[in-house]
Structure 1
Amino acid sequence: MSDPRLTLFDGQVAHVSLQGRVDANSFTKGTWQRCGKSTANLTRANGSQDKQLLLGERFLVISQNDHGQSFGQCERDGYVGWVNTNDLDADVPCDLKVVTLGTHCYSEPDIKSAPIEWLPMGAEVVKHSEQSNAAPQFTAISITKNQIGYVPSPHLAALSLTSPDPVIVAQTFLNAPYLWAGDSYHGIDCSGLIQRALLSCGIACPRDSDQQEATLGRVLDEHEPPNCGDIVFWKGHVGMITDENQIIHANAFHMAVAQEPFTQACSRIGQKEFGEITSIRRLSA
């Protein structure tokens, strides 16, 4: 049975790839668009939030409703859901991505100018052709068709650039507030933290913890000690080992991304939250 989180079908309209597999009123190829806000919530039909899109992220739209929402699928991880139509923009290829925890986009190439927008790690932007007008420490980007913004150049990198270590990426989020279905430093959840850490290192990663447990790496043998970078799963929760004694995870106990002793976390989670560990997985051999 298809995972509804990954099935591009809103109950009425489906993607053409699903012909013969779902009972839809109509099928369509859809239209690619991109997220036009720093973050945009992806929700279910009942309004509950599943994840967030980041600025510049591609989204394949197959339908729209009467409430100003578009249904589609995220290119990043295949997740489907509803997004406010006004939060989407044209599918213009991006050149650069934000590689710091976050950054400001300014109205002028001057740190004292008014900020236009906050951009999260992983946001993708279009470099503007009028770069020559920017001070050397800024990069000009296109905010809308008729608006230019300026981002500190050290905060941007080519889309192909990857970080060397997912643990270091995860640790940059320390103390970020916990937010169910959040995907940025303004708020992030346990599986969102793991996904962002891995994607920043060029490692494909699904969005939810059960999907991650089913696909990432290999399961450690019973007597193998966990190493730095290993991913620990509970039923409904996930974290990453940072050394032989510590784990980092976004969690509702601290209501933040926290690093704490592994045994302490296991005891509390086992007794009061998600039960026993279901697996520990290693990304590399």
Structure 2
Amino acid sequence: MDRRLNAYRPDLADIRLKGKVEAARYVEGREMQVIAPVLDVRSAPRSDAGQDTQLLFGERVTVFEEAEGYAWLKAERDGYVGYALGSWLSAEPDDATHVIAVPRTFSYREADMKTAAKTAYSLGSRLKVVGTAETRGLSYALLASGEALVASHLRPIGDTVSDYVSVAETLEHTPYLWGGASAFGIDCSGLVQLSMRMSGQTVLRDTDMQATTIGKPLAIGTDLAGLQRGDLVFWKGHVAIMVDAETIIHANGHTMTVAREPLRQAVDRIAYIYERPTGFRRP
């Protein structure tokens, strides 16, 4: 049973796993909400532990344990399990009304972009808008805290784009970050997941999970013919998105950014270390 998707340890486990795994104690957990712009999720409750993924403002989680400042949790969106700072979780979740629909945006202390910015939010962050305002012809969305965001940078929850690749394209030049899942820093599978989320598709987090669950497999030969926009190319530990029949966009450790690259060039370059692609899928 994959520990990335199932909360269990010898001493403690999700009550939904009772009868499936052995643990000294089973708990139901409690629902909480992320209140950090970006919350790192680590493999262990330590600041120097490896970063596995990230959660965005407004995302909901189930917390099974809080100890020494860290919460052991499971993300509602994709089921990922890990440890995060408990101080960035709220026990009183809000029902979000809107989602950030541009790569990055700011909140201001009032409805005026000339005032000091307070917080930077990533694409995909979920917020509860309680009102609107206008200053010098620019419309703002207001939060309960009094903060204001440019209204055109948000869209109602449920409104999605039809082409997830267009979302990935807006993230070009975003820095590469291992375990990153936001527009401030992102990895290859994070780019796929975040882009698809904005088109209304919920997919799993890691490359190996995506390689067996997204869409349908494609029979693509060594000539790489037959691929189209939106198809996914998988290597061992890596994934890229087809922009067109010959070009990919991917968060990669070569440029350390989200970048476009000719597919054939990428295949030859990556083969030196990780061999040729292991599979192709069409969402």
TM-score in terms of structure 2 length: 0.93
Q: Which residue of 1 aligns with 2:182?
A: 184
**Residue 122 (str. 1) matches residue 121 (str. 2):** no
The amino acid that maps onto 2:173 is: N
Q: Which residue of 2 aligns with 1:256?
A: 257
Q: Distance in 1 between matches of 2:105 and 2:96?
A: 17
Q: Which residue of 1 aligns with 2:38?
A: 39
The amino acid that maps onto 1:253 is: H
Q: Distance in 2 between matches of 1:10 and 1:182?
A: 25
Deviations 1:124-157 (A, max 9, x none): 00112xx256646001013xxxx32100000111
Distance 1:114 1:81, change over 3 A: same
Unaligned runs of 5+ in 2: none
> How far does residue 11 in structure 1 lie from its aligned partner after superposition?
3.8
SS in structure 2 of the partner of residue 169 of structure 1: helix
Identity across matched positions, percent: 34
Instruction: Verify the 8 A CA contact 2:133 2:141 in the aligned structure 1.
Output: no
Q: Which residue of 2 aligns with 1:265?
A: 266
Distance 1:133 1:238, change over 3 A: closer
> How far does residue 10 in structure 1 lie from its aligned partner after superposition?
4.1
Q: Which residue of 2 aligns with 1:106?
A: 108
> How far does residue 215 in structure 1 lie from its aligned partner after superposition?
0.3
> How far does residue 217 in structure 1 lie from its aligned partner after superposition?
1.1
After superposition, where does 1:194-273 map in structure 2 within 5 Å? 194-223=192-221, 225-272=226-273
Q: Distance in 1 between matches of 2:183 and 2:100?
A: 13
Q: Distance in 1 between matches of 2:126 and 2:66?
A: 24
Unaligned runs of 5+ in 1: none
Q: Which residue of 2 aligns with 1:275?
A: 275
The amino acid that maps onto 1:63 is: E
The amino acid that maps onto 2:275 is: G
SS in structure 1 of the partner of residue 4 of structure 2: helix
Distance 1:192 1:137, change over 3 A: same
After superposition, where does 1:28-67 map in structure 2 within 5 Å? 28-45=27-44, 47-66=49-68
The amino acid that maps onto 1:19 is: K
SS in structure 2 of the partner of residue 191 of structure 1: helix
Distance 1:132 1:95, change over 3 A: closer
The amino acid that maps onto 2:125 is: A
More displaced stretch, 215-224 vs 249-258: 215-224
Instruction: Verify the 8 A CA contact 1:134 1:150 in the aligned structure 2.
Output: no
> How far does residue 211 in structure 1 lie from its aligned partner after superposition?
0.2
SS in structure 1 of the partner of residue 129 of structure 2: coil
Q: Distance in 1 between matches of 2:180 and 2:3?
A: 20
Deviations 1:105-131 (A, max 9, x none): 100100111111001000000112xx2
Q: Distance in 1 between matches of 2:132 and 2:264?
A: 54
The amino acid that maps onto 1:111 is: M
Instruction: Verify the 8 A CA contact 1:35 1:88 in the aligned structure 2.
Output: yes
Q: Distance in 2 between matches of 1:134 and 1:27?
A: 51
Q: Which residue of 2 aligns with 1:165?
A: 163
The amino acid that maps onto 1:184 is: S
**Residue 153 (str. 1) matches residue 151 (str. 2):** yes
Instruction: Verify the 8 A CA contact 1:7 1:80 in the aligned structure 2.
Output: yes
TM-score in terms of structure 1 length: 0.93
The amino acid that maps onto 1:235 is: K
Q: Distance in 1 between matches of 2:178 and 2:133?
A: 41
More displaced stretch, 38-47 vs 73-82: 38-47
Q: Distance in 2 between matches of 1:61 and 1:92?
A: 16
Q: Distance in 2 between matches of 1:154 and 1:11?
A: 48
Q: Which residue of 1 aligns with 2:87?
A: 86
